Amino acid sequence: MSFEIILKDLVDQVPQAIGAILVDWEGEAVMEHCHCEPYDMRFIAAHKGIILSRLMEMQSIANVGAIEDVVVTASEGHLIIGSIDKDYSLVMRVGRSGPIAQALYHFRLAITELKKEI
């Protein structure tokens, strides 16, 4: 299965999904699928590194184990960020009233599929 198909399936299966993007360790877009301006997804993805690096610092201090994913909820929606491996991450935007449990379920399935492709 290709990156494009995995991202399209993820966005299509989650109600109120705005988009999903696969990014490399520098925050550069590898592939995205979205119902918005692609630039918006790329901008968010470029900044995910800041969030993940702060969480990694916290992880080493608190000794909580490897961080797999994180959900940031804001007034406009949810942002899900997940690590595929040390070089790649997946970022997804979901509308504020979107079902976050369902989004996380499909997000984690997509991570598993992306790990097979990478």
pLDDT at 46: 79
Q: Using CB atoms within 10 Å of the CB of residue 54, give its burial: 0 to 12 exposed, 13 to 18 middle, 19+ buried.
A: exposed
Total residues belonging to the chain: 118
pTM of the entire predicted model: 0.88
Q: Enter the DSSP assignment of 103.
A: H
pLDDT in tens, 51-93: 766 776 776 666 777 778 889 898 989 999 998 988 899 999 9
Q: Enumerate the domain spans of the chain.
A: 3-117
Please name the amino acid found at residue 107.
Answer: F
Spelled out in words, what is the top-level CATH class assigned to the domain 3-117? alpha beta
Residue ranges of the alpha helices (H) in 14-99?
38-62
